[in-house]
Chains A and B, each alone.
Chain A
């Protein structure tokens, strides 16, 4: 049947939630981080994979979301949920602003500009340590005063599911189509009537909002927040995850985050070799499998239910025609 992959995914999700209780705390933590990264990679793929905007400022937004939420909660005692919402709002607005500022920039210029933005954010957070706690770390209020990580696990899962659902809706809509058009050929898109400016700003706003969400959750989960999370090393990891998975679609971006995060942990025994190893995998992926390593797998997964409705009959027809001629 068509769409069987959806049922498989739902079944897997249910299985995951049910068996979560039995997981040990370490793997639960790894899974939670994988989910946080998934929100980050999928929202980044919206920018880079769909709209073709290679922004290096994504983690800066995550850190802005984190600090906004943490500081507002600390100063005004508002509930964490509200703090996170505030963080998302700030990121959306700031993201839209950056998107607007970058309107006439393309490709590498955009990358450099957003890199600059990310550095300014990091340096500011680090220098204004009276406010942000700087590198000594800001103590954040945890979401759950609980010994176990289980409630965080469920929360992260819900956040990820909701994020993917929202982003998925966007991507499947006409807006998604317009975003894709931007990446392929912006001038052609404009000529076809796509409001390029509006969609670039929109893409930035939405993606940055999700980054802020991830950052806010991260801040209240780990309990200590430093400006280091906005550093280039983390952004680089994000790029590695998304590109290896497949930056052109949400599921492969998520897959990339999960696979890389788990592999990083599984390979902990190899110590410092983990990171250069992923660097090489990234290079190989770009060179030989540019769409990402998980993309072919995902495409097959999606086509599971389609049986012979695929191109086969048409091809067979044409072959028969040719042989007759």
Chain B
């Protein structure tokens, strides 16, 4: 195999990986603060994409502004959902909180997915490009939208990391993720930060949705694959670790790209790509049930 071929596949994997990372970070953030796995995250990503599309179509915003607006909308929506559905997680009267979080987010995903078909119609939609055209690096041709998506994605991830480590609110978030009670003792309101975490996670997913819409088009069930990839990444990178998810996302993006590129049986390589990511996941879980870099599974009780 030529080096060019390898290089091209690696570059493509990088771009996709950044998008995966954005979604996965949302999942991991929500997990570290609320201690539940959000099974509806892929559908929030889907909603974000559609939201941006309609903001462009109906309000005439330029794409970048629409993305920001979509992030804001999903932020608010997420907080509403959290208030409506997730408050039992904070009450001592609720038993088996893990299970509750699972089923509720699962049900939410089910609802969102099916309602989206009715609301948005089944036909794939495509908003206008962020940046038109194609850039060529020698033999490698990458659409500008992909470069833009990867670039903005990295920026947002870095912004989030900065927020979490350098700002007061971010550090408070981190405190809550380590110990709700201790955080409460020093005067941090855990409930507010739960909402914040859920909102930020959703906003990030919305950005991802808006960014990929011009590349892959929007469809109501686009959240399904996104969900599965997100879990693979989060578990690889460790539940609760934002950096882990970022790296994990890139890793999975590369892994899928390289698997398709090099798996010996060309007929099956592509079909099994999705299964490959999942297989990696399962193997990791078998040997390390709490994920590669995760802290020991923290339960709410």
Contacts and interface: CB of A to CB of B under 8 A. Distances in A.
Interface stretch (B13-21, B252-260, B283-291): B283-291
Interface in B187-230: 224, 228
Q: Dominant SS at the B interface?
A: helix
Contact of B107 (A101, A124, A273, A286): A286
A283 B110 CA distance: 10
B152 interface: no
B118 interface: yes
Interface string B221-243: 00010001001100100000000
Contacts of B101: 108
A104 B278 contact: no
Interface in B60-114: 84-85, 88, 95-96, 98-104, 106-112, 114
A242 to B, nearest CB: 10
B36 interface: yes
A62 B110 CA distance: 21
Given A109-B285, A240-B107, A290-B100, 13 more contacts: A52-B96, A105-B289, A106-B98, A112-B235, A119-B274, A120-B282, A123-B271, A127-B271, A275-B114, A279-B110, A282-B110, A286-B100, A287-B104
A236 interface: yes
B155 interface: no
B117 interface: yes
Contacts of A108: 31, 36-37, 98, 101-102
B111 A280 contact: yes
10 contacts: A112-B37, A112-B235, A115-B231, A127-B271, A127-B272, A239-B103, A243-B103, A272-B118, A275-B110, A287-B104
Contacts, number: 121
Contact of B85 (A120, A240, A287): A287
A115 B297 CA distance: 19
Chain B interface bracket (under 10, 10 to 19, 20 to 34, 35 or more): 35 or more
B51 interface: no
A123 B103 contact: no
Contacts of A239: 103, 106-107
Chain A interface bracket (under 10, 10 to 19, 20 to 34, 35 or more): 35 or more
Of A112, A115, A240, the most chain B CB neighbours within 10 A belong to A112
A171 interface: no
Nearest to B118: A272
B268 interface: yes
A283 B88 contact: no
Interface string B263-274: 000001001101
A107 interface: yes
A72 interface: no
Given A54-B102, A116-B282, A243-B103, A232 B224 contact: yes
A175 interface: no
A30 interface: no
B99 A283 contact: no
B25 interface: no
